């Protein structure tokens, strides 16, 4: 017989059955721990297979870089001969595909068009538009790409310069080219003096490459 601890001056016996029960409990805990570890390993293997075989990372990226409003984007991208993935990248940067977006400077809709710019561009298209019209995805993308085409033509189909002008205005871009701040071929976009525009053009060019990689 094994002696246990003394309580209140009385020595209590501890039976072999009690010690055996304690050992069994430890074994059960160990088995549960091993089962838990094995389950984790199985789950990790499943996740690994999902990433490798199903390419779940592509699924996540496509959620972050969607092809929303594809009916209008592809229609007008084709009509104006603009790379559709560039259009998606511009819309993502401008409004993140929120057709009801309106900025603090009153830029409107998916492509964040200023009302005065929209009116002037629409006039060349024999259209009349109101502010409310610009919240319509079809019209907003149509007018936005018509204006972007005008910028592309002005800068000899140079996408970086057209993107910079879409954000900062043609007047600024022309002035920067004239005084040598940026090159006429748009290869030194890091020299764009407006921080917002600098980040803007970099983001669009980066997102454009991501769109091509995901969907081409």
Residues carrying an active site annotation: 94
Closest CA to 91 of 211, 214, 216, 215: 211
Separation between Cα atoms, residue 56 and residue 53, nearest integer Å: 8
Residue 66: C-alpha distances to residues 49, 83, 143 (Å): 24, 16, 21
Residue 116: C-alpha distances to residues 126, 135, 176 (Å): 15, 15, 24
What are the residue ranges of helices labelled H in 50-180?
Answer: 56-64, 70-79, 84-95, 115-124, 137-154, 159-168, 170-178
Structural element, H or E, at residue 196: helix 195-215
Separation between Cα atoms, residue 99 and residue 134, nearest integer Å: 9
Closest CA to 109 of 126, 94, 93: 94
Beta bridge partners of 3: 13
Beta bridge partners of 11: 6
- CB distance 189 to 201 below 8 Å: yes
């Amino acid at each position: 017989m094994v002696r246990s601890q003394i309580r209140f001056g009385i020595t209590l016996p501890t039976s072999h059955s009690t010690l055996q029960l304690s050992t069994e409990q430890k074994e059960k805990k160990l088995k549960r721990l091993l089962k838990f570890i094995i389950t984790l390993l199985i789950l990790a293997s499943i996740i690994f297979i999902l990433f490798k075989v199903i390419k779940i990372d592509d699924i996540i990226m496509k959620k972050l870089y969607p092809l929303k409003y594809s009916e209008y984007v592809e229609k007008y991208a084709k009509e104006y001969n603009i790379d559709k993935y560039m259009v998606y990248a511009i819309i993502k940067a401008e409004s993140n595909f929120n057709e009801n977006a309106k900025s603090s400077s009153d830029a409107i809709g998916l492509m964040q068009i200023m009302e005065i710019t929209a009116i002037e561009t629409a006039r060349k298209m024999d259209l009349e538009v109101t502010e409310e019209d610009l919240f319509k995805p079809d019209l907003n993308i149509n007018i936005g790409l018509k204006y972007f085409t005008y910028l592309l033509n002005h800068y000899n189909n140079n996408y970086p310069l057209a993107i910079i002008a879409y954000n900062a205005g043609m007047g600024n871009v022309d002035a920067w080219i004239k005084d040598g701040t940026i090159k006429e071929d748009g290869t030194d976009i890091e020299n764009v003096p407006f921080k917002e525009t600098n980040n803007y053009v970099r983001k669009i060019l980066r997102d454009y490459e991501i769109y091509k990689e995901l969907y081409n």
